[in-house]
Structure 1
Amino acid sequence: MVPFSFHGHELAFVSAPPGAGKVPGAALWWPAEQALLVADLHLEKGSYFAVRGQMLPPYDSRETLERLADALRQTGARRVFALGDNFHDAAGIARLEPHAAGMLAALTRAVDWVWIAGNHEGGARVLPGGIALEELRVGGIVLRHEAVAGSMDAEMSGHFHPRLAVNLRGRRIARPCAVRSERRLILPAFGALTGGMDAADPAILAAMQPAAAIDAVVPAAGRALTWPLWRAAA
């Protein structure tokens, strides 16, 4: 795990399991709360597109849930906070094949599970297991799906799927990242089929306001690297 801090709280990026094919750092461990935080699972995204004629691999939910189970084993978390867009659409729950449905049922029984409502799955009321909420305050931090620009709350959220793209030795490299300011932390997307938005996109920078500084935070070589995205004018 790769530690970093936000608003006086110690957090850590959770390593991806060997051979997972997913860049590490998409889940966060919050030791003080014994909690694992994930955002934007987008379960059943593959089947959503398949029924519309675009054939994507059909096992994205299994892969996402297997990686989530591994993160729980690594951390020993007693709680999971899933920060919205948990399913790709409101009908996604009904499309879960039996194996993935069993995995999800087992996970939500094993720990205290909180589903935060997102914009994709049609509201908190449709989610299985655990409890479903619009938002939740934990340790002085509001957990919600989408950052609220102008709010003075300290908050953690998802929604934007931030990725940091840099040129390194002539190659363009993009990695999921967190975006952090003094009061806001946007998590990377966790789902197996989730894409990403440039961490410096104006929509992300606007959602982070007010802020004195906004940085991308990405795990690399066992440490959290900070990349400046925006600074207030002096």
Structure 2
Amino acid sequence: MTGTMEHIKNSFQFSLAGVPLCALGTGALWWPDQRLLCVSDLHLGKAERLARRGGPVLPPYETRDTLDRLSQDITKTDAATVVCLGDSFDDLASAQSLSDTARMQLTGLQAGRRWIWIQGNHDPGPVELGGAHLQDLKLAPLVFRHIADPVAQGEVSGHYHPKAKLRGTARPAFLVDTARVVLPAYGTYTGGLRCTDAPLVQLMQEPALAILTGSSPLPIPMPRRP
């Protein structure tokens, strides 16, 4: 059966609040019992926003690349629900400037499934791109929001773009403790916060796990010192 734990390659299985979850090597989170795929911080349109504001000019292909990878994860899991965990767009103008091709691709990805946009700090609020727009999503025993609440339990969040370093190489990483999982940024043009930086050290309880993304997701104890 498509989408079960046993059939998701390039992934690492763990549990949160008693819920079996799967960290995919792409940076997406899969909840098989709900057929729910969660991604965070797509930052669609970042290249356009940087150019518009006089920043470095980057090849304007990140939106297509991000959506192509998301399409592959949706196909691989056969997700019935997709949750975009905030900062899906780099700013309001980025959302408004999406190409017709990108809009059509999003429409195709949404067809036949529930699609939820969680509000992030970059997000413009509801946009005319289909799906539901929520501040957070409660699916007991889990809650999905953009920025972590330090006292929450069973929380799935994003925002920080966590990265962990192993043998001198930094990779985007999931951070997991007994209370929460913080997702890495899914977008192609996104930086990251080192898991040794104060906001993440203070947020994550000990012991915490860093699951490095890539072709072979790798769990390591979350580094807390540079």
- Aligned residues of 2:164 and 2:222 also touching (Cα < 8 A): no
Q: Which residue of 2 aligns with 1:47?
A: 48
C-alpha change, 1:102 and 1:84, in structure 2 (3 Å) is same
- Superposition RMSD in Å: 1.9
Q: Which amino acid in 2 is paired with 1:38?
A: V
Q: Distance in 1 between matches of 2:124 and 2:66?
A: 20
TM-score normalised per structure 2 = 0.88
Q: Distance in 1 between matches of 2:115 and 2:129?
A: 10
Superposition deviation, residue 229 in structure 1: 3.1
Q: Which residue of 1 aligns with 2:71?
A: 69
- Higher relative CO (Cα under 8 Å, sequence separation at least 6) belongs to 2
Gaps of 5+ in 1: 15-23
Map 1:36-185 → 2, pairs under 5 A:
36-53=37-54, 54-123=56-125, 125-126=126-127, 128-149=129-150, 151-167=151-167, 172-185=168-181
Gaps of 5+ in 2: 1-8
Q: Which amino acid in 1 is paired with 2:164?
A: L
- Aligned residues of 2:62 and 2:188 also touching (Cα < 8 A): yes
Superposition deviation, residue 221 in structure 1: 6.8
Q: Distance in 2 between matches of 1:219 and 1:26?
A: 6
Alpha-carbon deviations, 1:109-130, whole Å to 9, x = none? 232101110000133x236211
1:5 to 8, 14, 17: 14
**2:38 match: secondary structure:** strand
Q: Distance in 2 between matches of 1:182 and 1:51?
A: 42
- Give % identity: 35
- Aligned residues of 1:79 and 1:112 also touching (Cα < 8 A): yes
Q: Which amino acid in 1 is paired with 2:121?
A: N
Q: Which amino acid in 2 is paired with 1:143?
A: F
Q: Does 1:215 align with 2:209?
A: yes
What is the aligned residue count?
214
Q: Distance in 2 between matches of 1:185 and 1:175?
A: 16
Superposition deviation, residue 223 in structure 1: 5.5
Superposition deviation, residue 162 in structure 1: 0.6
**1:71 match: secondary structure:** helix
Q: Which amino acid in 1 is paired with 2:197?
A: D
Q: Distance in 2 between matches of 1:87 and 1:64?
A: 12
Q: Distance in 2 between matches of 1:59 and 1:221?
A: 22
Q: Which amino acid in 2 is paired with 1:11?
A: L
